């Protein structure tokens, strides 16, 4: 060892244990000191080898040097800890902003054919169709199966009821259980059916779009081969710049069976389960539709047939206040809630006798088909007496529907939203002609169409027109009426088919110029209304009930309907009007 050699003694700070031995000369000492970051180094000229000794063996100067290095180390550790925490906070903040869509990107996803949004129950993945996005089969309530059959629907508000990971909303779910549909093979139905489909041009938080929530349903017994095909699409959402939500809700006995044995639980009532489903879906929309590019403050509910009747019940229910802003009621029943809970429960005793059950537990064990087979209900679209109609009914249960519609209006107990009532002029199949109704004929129309028109007037149009007049005198928001006069070739919901751009599909042929004018006029009326509360090219002023808009070869305004005045004065509609 020469006098130029150095011995570098390195000790792990605070340990006091031997670490390793190494030779060092000249500038190598400084290199080792630099590499061994986080340790304490002391220099000595008395030895030729680098020896790691316990800290207790060092002299006073070594202890002082160690103390200085400890201070530097502690300061460095604190600095690094602060920086790390700051970076962690920034990462968490960025993740939250990305998940909620608050970054300055217009779309949540661009070129990828799939799309993912965040709901209150977790992520949902959809798919790209026709340049827009579709999400199929998103659950909005707990499946109403087993002991939850004939129970109020339970919204998905608890994490244990939600899914784990990303929900893949790629396929439509089965329809709610009902009887088989003639002419439809492979019709899928299930009690596990509380799902909704969403069609949106873009899942964006920028410039939210109007929302249309669609409740389909021809009768309370279920869909027919025409109504089951009425459906919005991703392309329609893109073309019209609207977010569509199509809701599946319980129908038939599963949705509207009122029985005294089902009153246990809260609320102590029975029936109207389908209405609770609709409420649950609308609450889901309010909480989640912004993630799909929709505006929760601009929601229009759309329904035809029984779906329209159910919407009208929600309009008259204070439980639905704040869940939608407009209601489009096509061909529903103004004579809903025509039975009290007690009356409905007594009428449905025949069902209990058929199925041989006396308790809710017994009913929950029966198969869905057993439930359907035991019901004594039938449907009739012709001209029956009211005592001939046996269908599941919306009842006045004292909760979701506290009383009849007319009483709700008189008591000012209703959901004051903008309303538009509508119906087609033709309500039954053209083959159901009855030439005995000769006094209703016009020379330029065949008997079958005149009969169909009369059925529509008595059962649907005129009762709805009366309801619109009463609502107009009570509501602070606008109330309008339209009548679809386009002449069909078969029994169809032509107004809804036109709104969804499905006229050609339902006609089964190429559209005529008259068909195209009608579809264009109907779409103009509907989409202008939901976006601006105006009625297409028609001036809003001066067309409130009893005035109405005729949608046929364009849009025309009529001061009143003289035939409806005749029917209303005679009170005949009370015996023949549609009852849901």
220-235, pLDDT tens digit by residue? 888 787 888 899 999 9
CA–CA separation, 98 and 236 (whole Å): 28
Q: Which of 564, 381, 318 is nearest to 465 (CA)?
A: 564
The Cα 129–Cα 561 span in angstroms is 44
Host H or E run for residue 35: helix 28-35
**SS3 at position 219:** strand
Give me the pLDDT at residue 227, please.
81
Can you give the pTM of this predicted structure? 0.75
Dihedral Cα 351, 353, 354, 355, nearest 10 deg: 90
| Residue 35 CB burial class (10 angstroms; 0-12, 13-18, ≥19) | exposed
Domains detected in the chain: 115-575 (3.40.50.1820)
pLDDT tens-place string over residues 512-523: 999 999 999 999
β-bridge partners, 226? none
Closest CA to 231 of 307, 336, 331: 307
| pLDDT band at 497; cut points 50, 70, 90 | very high
Asked whether residue 389 carries a pLDDT value surpassing 70, the answer given is no
Low-confidence winner among 60-64, 92-96, 148-152, 311-315 (lowest mean pLDDT): 60-64
pLDDT score for 543: 80
pLDDT tier at 466, thresholds 50, 70, 90:
confident
pLDDT of residue 15: 41
With a cut of 70, say whether residue 93 has pLDDT above it. Answer: no
> What's the rounded mean pLDDT across residues 20-32?
43
pLDDT above 50: residue 382: no
Instruction: Determine the Cα angle at 174 with ends 170 and 180, to 5°.
Output: 150
More confident of the two residues 199 and 266: 199
Nearest to 336 by CA among 226, 193, 217: 217
Dig out the tokens for 306 from the structure. Answer: 């029984």
The lowest-confidence range among 32-36, 87-91, 274-278, 469-473 is 32-36
Whether the per-residue pLDDT at 28 is higher than 50: the answer is no
pLDDT digit string (tens) for 331-374? 766 666 567 888 889 889 999 999 999 999 999 999 999 999 99
Task: Find the mean pLDDT for residues 382-390.
Answer: 48
pLDDT value for 538: 72
Would you state the pLDDT for residue 196?
98
87 vs 80: CA distance, rounded Å: 10
For the chain, give the mean pLDDT: 77
Q: Does residue 280 register a pLDDT over 80?
A: yes
Strand pairing class (418-424; 479-484): parallel
Higher pLDDT, 347 or 390: 347
pLDDT at residue 136, rounded to an integer: 98
pLDDT digits (tens, 9 = 90+) for 140-192: 999 999 999 999 999 998 889 999 999 999 999 999 998 877 667 778 899 99
DSSP per position, 247-282? E----HHHHH---GGG--SSSS--S-HHHHHHHHHH
Q: Is the pLDDT of residue 430 over 70?
A: no
C-alpha distances (whole Å) from 498 to each of 199, 324, 521, 524 are 18, 23, 9, 10
Please check the confidence at residue 453 and state whether its pLDDT lies above 70. Answer: no
Write the DSSP symbol of residue 27.
Answer: T
Contact 307, 331 (CB under 8 A): no
pLDDT bin (cut points 50, 70, 90) of residue 500 is very high
Residues 24 and 1: their CA atoms lie apart, in Å, by 11
Sign of CA dihedral 400, 402, 403, 408: negative
Which stretch of DSSP H or E encloses residue 243? strand 243-247
Give me the pLDDT at residue 52, please: 42
Tell me how far apart the alpha carbons of residues 267 and 399 are, in angstroms, rounded to a whole number.
Answer: 8
- Name the range with the highest mean pLDDT among 55-64, 193-202, 565-574: 193-202
Of 78-87, 257-266, 315-324, 326-335, the poorest mean pLDDT is in: 78-87
Please give the average per-residue pLDDT across 94-121, as a whole number.
56
């Amino acid at each position: 060892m020469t006098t130029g050699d150095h011995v570098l003694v390195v000790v792990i700070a605070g340990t006091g244990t031997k670490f390793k031995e190494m030779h060092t000369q000249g500038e190598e000492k400084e290199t080792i000191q630099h590499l061994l970051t986080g340790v304490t180094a002391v220099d000595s000229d008395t030895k030729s080898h680098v020896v790691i000794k316990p800290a207790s063996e060092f002299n006073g100067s070594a202890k002082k040097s160690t103390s200085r290095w400890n201070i530097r180390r502690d300061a460095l550790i604190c600095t690094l800890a602060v920086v790390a925490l700051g970076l962690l906070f920034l990462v968490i903040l960025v993740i939250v902003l990305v998940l909620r869509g608050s970054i300055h990107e217009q779309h949540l996803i661009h070129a990828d054919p799939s799309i993912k949004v965040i709901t209150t129950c977790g992520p949902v993945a959809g798919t790209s169709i026709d340049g827009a996005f579709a999400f199929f089969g998103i659950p909005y309530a707990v499946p109403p199966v087993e002991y939850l059959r004939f129970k109020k629907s339970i919204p998905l508000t608890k994490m244990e009821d939600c899914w784990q990971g990303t929900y893949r909303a790629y396929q439509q779910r089965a329809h709610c259980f009902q009887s088989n549909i003639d002419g439809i093979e492979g019709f899928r139905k299930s009690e596990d059916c509380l799902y909704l489909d969403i069609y949106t041009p873009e899942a964006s938080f920028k410039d939210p779009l109007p929302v249309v929530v669609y409740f389909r349903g021809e009768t309370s017994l279920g869909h027919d081969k025409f109504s089951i095909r009425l459906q919005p699409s991703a392309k329609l959402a893109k073309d019209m710049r609207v977010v569509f939500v199509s809701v599946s809700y319980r129908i038939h006995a599963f949705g509207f069976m009122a029985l005294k044995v089902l009153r246990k639980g809260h609320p102590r009532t029975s029936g109207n389960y389908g209405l609770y489903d609709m409420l649950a879906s609308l609450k889901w929309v309010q909480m989640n539709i912004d993630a799909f590019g929709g505006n929760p403050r601009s929601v229009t509910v759309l329904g035809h047939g029984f779906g329209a009747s159910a919407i009208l019940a929600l309009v008259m229910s204070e439980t639905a206040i704040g869940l939608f802003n407009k209601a489009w009621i096509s061909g529903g029943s103004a004579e809903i809630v025509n039975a009290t809970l007690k009356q409905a429960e007594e009428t449905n005793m025949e069902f209990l006798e058929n199925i041989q059950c006396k308790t809710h537990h017994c009913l929950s064990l029966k198969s869905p088909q057993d439930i359907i087979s035991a019901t004594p209900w039938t449907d009739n679209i012709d001209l029956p007496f009211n005592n001939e109609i046996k269908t599941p009914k919306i009842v006045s249960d004292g909760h979701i529907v506290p009383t009849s519609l007319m009483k709700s209006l008189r008591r000012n107990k209703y959901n004051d939203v903008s309303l538009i009532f509508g119906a087609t002029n033709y309500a039954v199949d053209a083959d159901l002609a009855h030439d005995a109704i000769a006094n209703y004929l016009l020379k330029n129309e065949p008997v079958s169409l005149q009969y169909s028109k009369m059925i529509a007037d008595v059962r649907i149009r005129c009762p709805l027109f009366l309801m619109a007049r009463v609502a107009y005198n009570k509501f602070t928001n606008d109330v309008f009426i339209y009548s679809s006069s386009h002449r069909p070739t078969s029994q169809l919901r032509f107004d809804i088919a036109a709104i969804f751009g499905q006229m050609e599909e339902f006609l089964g042929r190429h559209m005529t110029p008259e068909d195209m004018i009608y579809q264009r006029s109907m779409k103009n009326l509907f989409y202008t209304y939901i976006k601006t509360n105006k009625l297409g090219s028609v001036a809003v002023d001066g067309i409130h009930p009893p005035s109405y808009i005729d949608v046929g070869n364009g849009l025309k305004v009529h001061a009143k309907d003289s035939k409806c005045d005749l029917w209303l004065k005679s009170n005949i509609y009370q015996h023949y009007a549609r009852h849901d």
